[in-house]
Structure 1
Amino acid sequence: MTASPADQLPIEASIQIDPTFPYYLDRSPESIASELLLAGYRSVRYFVTDETRVNGDLIRTLRRHGMQVWAMVLGNGAYSTGHLPPDWPKWQMTLLKKTDDGYFRFSPHSTSYLKWKKSSIARLLQEHPFTGLEVAEPYMPEWNGLSSGVYGDVGPMAQAAFKEFSGSEMPEFTHRTSPRYYKRDRARYLLWIDFRVRAVNRFLHELINGPGGARSVRPDIRIATWSIAVDAGRDPVGAVREVQGTDAAEMIRLIRPDLHILQTHWPDWMRSGLPADYVRRYAPFVRHIRASHPDVPLGVQTDIGSLAPMRRSRVWLDIFARTAREEGYRMWTAYEHSIGLSMYTEPPRLLRARRTDRRTVVIEFDKRIDEASASAVSSYRCLEGGQLRDVSPLAAAPDGSRVLLKTDVWPAGPFELEVSGIRDTPERWLVPDQPAHTIAPGSRVPVPAAAKG
């Protein structure tokens, strides 16, 4: 439902980062903050894949620069188990078919998992100055799960919980001749759908609003809830509710978030030809929410490069953001800062130079640069009034997307730096399938005059 121009409010640009990616390693938190700020972001979603490995220095640096930093944790599982307690295998969902896809799915019916997850979130919020918390992907698996077999939880924990909820046995999903087969016993199956929605939302409610939960330990924390949206069929809202136990309106009613985010589901984001304005097709989800929650701020999330064929360009992302604003969303976010198309196809761009003291000029790029080429002092020329000026001896110390240049003989007045030969870092990309790119010849950046006194 498109908002009229008079009704459109400014939209917040936020970005997801995964600091465990090689792109963020072996560089200072200051350089990461600089790169994100120069990209135009004042809000960051820190993807916490392991609650025991969080870069507190980075969070504090981002906060010191005035950025909002949200902790984004996963609700329905984990990509690794080394940080989990020994009994974690008992938390796992049972699916219709054994699945080994590198993701460990945990059941919302597991009281042990709930207890651990709540305490890990509480510790995370107490130890680090996050400004917000969001539990992404709390849903049940999976889209097309009844046909693919990636459907759950259908194990003993779910069976016992459904018996307590309904007084009857759970539906049968594999034996078509069973009287409990989900396509035969529709009443039982409809109860099952309600039961799964209730399980997801009660799990979230306990994490956030329960004793010892997020709001208990950090009353100041902002909360965002997440649900999935997909462009599929005549009733996508009902389909997501049925297959994945996700009912955004009910989730918002129970959790009372400060913000609700619609996550682009994988059948959409995996499309290489996905139109940049596709969020218009999510209007049914917005209408569903607005019918009972007219005032809750809404956001939308997209993916800009998890797979090589669907990497999104800067232009694509600009259209996506503009469309989100036109549709009345208050914020947008994208996964993930370092994986968009420009990372793989564009050379580093020189954005800014600033003096930090009498001896030091910091030059900043739009992306991470190669240490070897950036360490070569022959890559830099000082031009004062258009004339070459000797500033040797010069030292160059690369740090992520910036270089610290030091000499005792910088001009006191304004001058220009000409930079050449500096490359980017394919070896640190998510998928290193493209060659390095070198900065455009003759790239220059102005350096302001030294502060007086």
Structure 2
Amino acid sequence: MTGRLFSRRTVLAGAVASTAFAVGSGLLDGEAALAAEPAAARPKQRGLSGPSIQIDPGFAYYQSRSPDSIADELAINGYRIVHYFVVNEQDVNGPVVEALRRRGITVWAMVIGNGSYSVSGFPDDWPAWQMRLLKPVDDGFYRFSPFSTDYLEWKKQVASKLVSTYPFDGFEVAEPYFPEWGGLTSGVYGDVGPLAQDAFMRGYGLEIPDFTDPSSPRYYKTDTERYAKWVQLRVDAVNGFLAELVNGSGGVREARPDILVGTWSLGVDAGPESVALEREYQGLDAAAMISAVRPDMHILQTNWPDWIKPDLPATYLRTYRPFLDQIRAAHPRLPLGAQTDIGSTTAMTRDDEWLRTFTDTADELGLATWTGYEYHLGGYIYQDRPVPRHVERVADDSAVISFQKRIDPASAKLSRSFEIVGGGQRRFIEPDAVSVDGNRVTVGTLPPRALVSLRVANVTDQPSTWLYHKDEPANVVPDDLVVHVPPAGR
């Protein structure tokens, strides 16, 4: 998401090595017990440790399917934590949140701190909240200033209503910073408008630095004392905004004292001064932020100069050690995580192997968790064949086959897609007895009191629901794929 593209699944089990699946093979280890556990009984720490993924249910991949199928797909791919990207606090898919929690998945509400992609339902005076940049930019994102008390109060109200209305387990604020890395050169730098000017005058009795005229006595490169105060003002503004949003009167913790809280800052590989430069350019001091907000977890988000690199090494988190060291020096026991982007552009789509190495690197660095933007943007969606991960009888004569990705209904309903083999029977399942819901295929007219072996052919994934490569050929299930359905009552 950094750079206006926010940046799936853990590869815990790796690629499926065999196309023959055991009877009632089940989900990944522990899934059955986890799914059966009441949400209220979940320990708080569950949402702080382990692989996680970000989802935005507004994408086509999540449309025209049930919330339970979305939760099923994420669960069978190994996720126990999901960060739900709340594009607009007033437009949340509550049934998806509930379905995820029914599967034992911890759900974080991840809101954006420094603006919004949508102003639908906002108060009429929202334009007064906006930052002013050195160079105006029209990229579909509305940037709001942390110096705006009206924006802060509105954000506090909608955040508190959000966590009171929907059963989120956690609340976190991503991108609370000022724009932008390299902004003093590109012009995408702010806030330099009246709100920031008034705050600097109130705080220091000074006009803000001049960022464009080298001959000005206020030029930021020559009046370094003024500029240092300006940098501190911006750090205080970011941290003060977050602290009030979470801990202030009418804030998130008052609305939901039980909720987990997460903070986010940025990491970047820009040499030995990277930590200081993030503080200077974007007002980010992670250790000070944590002291102000007192979160349960902190996430180090990958900044855009890194994630846009097509050849970004999967071990790049090692270059973020200075950021981790700065945080751990002040908050040694706080669970830390890292966020990466796995496919916001076609050039930097990350595949299974890349993710395995990234996961190993996060473990090497002692991180409690990692997450990626966004689940269905990873290379596995475009590259991997659909394979079943779980088979379950749901009635005497029918079973649900859960695949690891979304299935094209037309392919599953071809006349020779499912064939009963073995046990003295051999016949094709009629298309009318097959239905598809996202990643789940329900097959009917099965013998009720026998172990059934089903040969699966023709079934493909669904490129029309992808963000990219919609015109590419679909991936087909492996050859000689057989799944085993247990008898009814087992």
**Which interval holds the TM-score relative to the shorter structure?**
over 0.9
Kept after mapping to 2: 8 A contact 1:364/1:401: yes
In 2, distance between residues paired with 1:386 and 1:282? 61
* 2:344 pairs with one of 306, 311, 335: 306
In 2, distance between residues paired with 1:386 and 1:420? 20
Cα offsets for 1:279-310 (capped at 9, x unmatched): 11100001111111111111111111101011
Matched, 1:86 2:124: yes
Matched, 1:423 2:467: no
Aligned to 1:406: 444
In 2, distance between residues paired with 1:388 and 1:357? 21
Kept after mapping to 2: 8 A contact 1:377/1:394: no
* 1:382 pairs with one of 387, 397, 420: 420
Cα offset, 1:410, TM superposition: 2.1
* 1:184 pairs with one of 182, 202, 222: 222
Cα offset, 1:442, TM superposition: 2.2
TM-score relative to the length of structure 2: 0.88
The correspondence of residues 73-112 of structure 1 with structure 2, limited to 5 A, is 73-112=111-150
In 2, distance between residues paired with 1:373 and 1:272? 33
* 1:255 pairs with one of 279, 293, 298: 293
Aligned to 1:265: 303
In 2, distance between residues paired with 1:360 and 1:59? 28
Matched, 1:290 2:334: no
SS at match of 2:416: helix
Kept after mapping to 1: 8 A contact 2:311/2:348: yes
1:122 counterpart letter in structure 2: S
SS at match of 1:440: coil
Give the stretch that moved more between structures: 383-392 or 246-255. Answer: 383-392
The correspondence of residues 121-136 of structure 1 with structure 2, limited to 5 A, is 121-136=159-174
1:426 counterpart letter in structure 2: P
In 2, distance between residues paired with 1:397 and 1:53? 30
In 2, distance between residues paired with 1:127 and 1:377? 46
In 2, distance between residues paired with 1:263 and 1:390? 50
1:420 counterpart letter in structure 2: A
SS at match of 1:13: strand
Aligned to 2:267: 229
Give the stretch that moved more between structures: 163-172 or 188-197. Answer: 163-172
Cα offsets for 1:17-55 (capped at 9, x unmatched): 000000001100110011001100011000000112211
Give the stretch that moved more between structures: 130-139 or 108-117. Answer: 108-117
**1:360 and 1:168, CA in 2 relative to 1: closer, same or farther beyond 3 A?**
same
In 1, distance between residues paired with 2:102 and 2:431? 33
Aligned to 1:337: 375
Matched, 1:16 2:35: no
In 2, distance between residues paired with 1:391 and 1:21? 32
SS at match of 1:223: strand
Cα offsets for 1:248-291 (capped at 9, x unmatched): 00000010000011001111111111111111110000111111
Kept after mapping to 2: 8 A contact 1:50/1:83: no
Which structure ranks higher in relative contact order (CA pairs < 8 Å, sequence separation ≥ 6)? 2
Cα offsets for 1:324-378 (capped at 9, x unmatched): 1111101111111100011112221222211012132101111111121123353
In 1, distance between residues paired with 2:91 and 2:422? 47
Matched, 1:141 2:179: yes
Cα offset, 1:386, TM superposition: 7.6
Aligned to 2:253: 215
Runs of 5+ consecutive residues of structure 2 not aligned to the other structure: 1-47
In 2, distance between residues paired with 1:386 and 1:204? 66
Give the stretch that moved more between structures: 354-363 or 190-199. Answer: 354-363
SS at match of 1:243: helix
Kept after mapping to 1: 8 A contact 2:415/2:430: no
1:242 counterpart letter in structure 2: E
Aligned to 1:396: 434
Aligned to 2:199: 161
SS at match of 2:65: coil
1:323 counterpart letter in structure 2: T
Aligned to 1:323: 361
In 2, distance between residues paired with 1:113 and 1:127? 21
Kept after mapping to 1: 8 A contact 2:302/2:341: yes
Cα offset, 1:131, TM superposition: 0.3
SS at match of 1:378: coil
Aligned to 1:372: 410
In 1, distance between residues paired with 2:200 and 2:115? 21
Cα offset, 1:233, TM superposition: 1.8
Cα offsets for 1:66-87 (capped at 9, x unmatched): 1100000000011122232222
SS at match of 1:291: helix
User: Equivalent pairs: percent with the same residue?
Assistant: 52
**1:414 and 1:293, CA in 2 relative to 1: closer, same or farther beyond 3 A?**
same
2:467 counterpart letter in structure 1: L
Aligned to 2:20: none
Number of corresponding residues = 442
Give the stretch that moved more between structures: 120-129 or 351-360. Answer: 351-360
2:389 counterpart letter in structure 1: L
Kept after mapping to 2: 8 A contact 1:14/1:333: yes
Aligned to 2:22: none
Matched, 1:239 2:277: yes
Cα offsets for 1:362-399 (capped at 9, x unmatched): 01111111121123353111123385246658511110
Matched, 1:435 2:473: yes
Give the stretch that moved more between structures: 439-448 or 362-371. Answer: 439-448
TM-score relative to the length of structure 1: 0.95
Cα offsets for 1:311-334 (capped at 9, x unmatched): 111111111111111111011111
Runs of 5+ consecutive residues of structure 1 not aligned to the other structure: 1-9
Kept after mapping to 1: 8 A contact 2:429/2:444: no
